[in-house]
Amino acid sequence: MADGTALEPVLVVDEGLGNTCYLLDLGDGGALVVDPPRDLRALRAALRKAGLRIRFVADTHLHADFLSGASQLAHDDGAQVLASAAGHRRFGHRGFVDGDEVDLGGLVLTAMGTPGHTDEHLSFLVGDGGSPVGVFTGGSLIIGSAARTDLLGPERTEELARAQFRSLQRLSALPGQTAVWPTHGAGSFCSAPSGAERTSTIGRELATNPLLAIQDEDRFVEQLLGSLGSYPAYFLRLSEINRRGPTVLDPGATGRIPQLPVPAVRRLLTDGAVLVDARPVADYARAHVPGAVSIPLRAQFATWLGWLVPADTPIVVVRNPDQDLAELIWQAVNIGVERIVGELAGGTEAWAAAGHPTAGTRLLGPAEIDKRHRVLDVRQDAEFSAGHLPGAVHVELGSLAQAAAALPDAPTVVMCGHGERAAGAASLLERAGHHDVAVLEGGPDDWSDATGRDLVRAP
């Protein structure tokens, strides 16, 4: 900053969704927040620790992977929302076009039109004394790559990829010392390579980002589109909700759901509700309500909840008493899942005590797989290509519900990287009528170490 102090925003990272929200101290007790999620708990904690109040909140684009907290911050804190005018948001905000500026009180925030990830995407350049200091790049330039361009449909994917090329060229022309503060990072299905780094500089990206080394637009498009994997279906719904503005929540009411007795849960299940078993894999495997979908409560819970449970389906949850119910509900709310109607009071034990049957799923160690087992690998395409068991059948977990009926009902061991996704896949197979299903404890490397055999890798 002008006084010589380095300008470094506080990072509020969602490891599960792979995103970063930024909190920038404006030097006067106020703060700028960029790309806040609907779950504001971690951001609120960072604000309290820094002793700051929010003056501005900026959204780089209409997010498809989480609901924005911008309208909530405007309601709760009186923050001014800054966002693309082309996004046509239906709640109070200041609409920006390329080149628009706002005085942050010494610092200047300038909108840079950087379409590609979405067609209305903006990056926000922070300047101090006329010099660029850092740029919030959202889903444009990210660490080692650029975010996906297929979220608006296949008919626009190439057009947006070409726009992404031009946006990256524009951003890469900034001074090399300019900090790069992207929203999407490792773990995001909006696309980011693996890695621990959440921020970078223009100079570092020019030296290390393979997409910035491509000067031919056609080759850039081919490279970018060739790297795109699958993404959850709920991505297709959230951007429009963000355009309208998510419903303002009462934070005190969020985190509580009704405790439902067994008869009430049975009625709900009969009427089409889905029982989500959020317990650890070992507990689910030991005994679970038949037909329950296993989605262990962890950082990635929201992604798989939104991916595996159809939209608008009522949800009843099962958890262990030591699992944080508020965390479960906030993760769901963060992606717009507000149809959790209650939890099974007393859990699986209450279900069994009421005289209803439970089911179990075998857990196998890597050395226990033999030739009678079909191995079903439910990891993402890129993970499977990087190394899989010989003869393994591959169906991504996100596609398994649709594919399960076509798979033969044969002895099957389901595997992923550690076991959580495999348990979810086993539960989907059981729901589809498969009988002899087991889950591999561990992943392909564990199998290779235990057997001394090599994995099959894509050429």
Instruction: Please compute, for residue 343, the number of CA atoms within 13 A of its CA located in the half-sphere on the CB side.
Output: 21
| C-alpha distances in Å from residue 392, one per residue of 413, 435, 440, 443 | 10, 19, 13, 13
User: Do 306 and 232 meet the contact criterion of CB atoms below 8 Å apart?
Assistant: yes
DSSP for 168-234, written as a single string: HHHHHTS-TT-EEEESB-TT-TT---S-S---EEHHHHHHH-GGGG---HHHHHHHHHHT-----TT
CA–CA separation, 421 and 378 (whole Å)? 7
Maximum separation of any 2 CA atoms in the chain, in Å:
73
Please confirm, yes or no, whether 416 is among the known catalytic residues.
Answer: yes
103 class by beta-carbon count within 10 Å (0-12 exposed, 13-18 middle, 19+ buried): exposed
Residue 389: HSE in the Cβ half-sphere, 13 Å Cα cutoff: 32
8 Å CB contact between 84 and 65 = no
Does residue 412 sit in helix, strand or coil?
Answer: strand
Instruction: Classify residue 41 by burial, with Cβ atoms within 10 Å: 0-12, 13-18, 19+.
Output: middle
Q: What are the start-end ranges of the H helices in 51-151?
A: 70-77
Sign of CA pseudo-dihedral 192, 195, 198, 204: negative
> 234 and 304 in contact (C-beta within 8 Å)?
no
* Residue among 416, 422, 428, 437 flagged as catalytic: 416
Catalytically annotated residues: 416
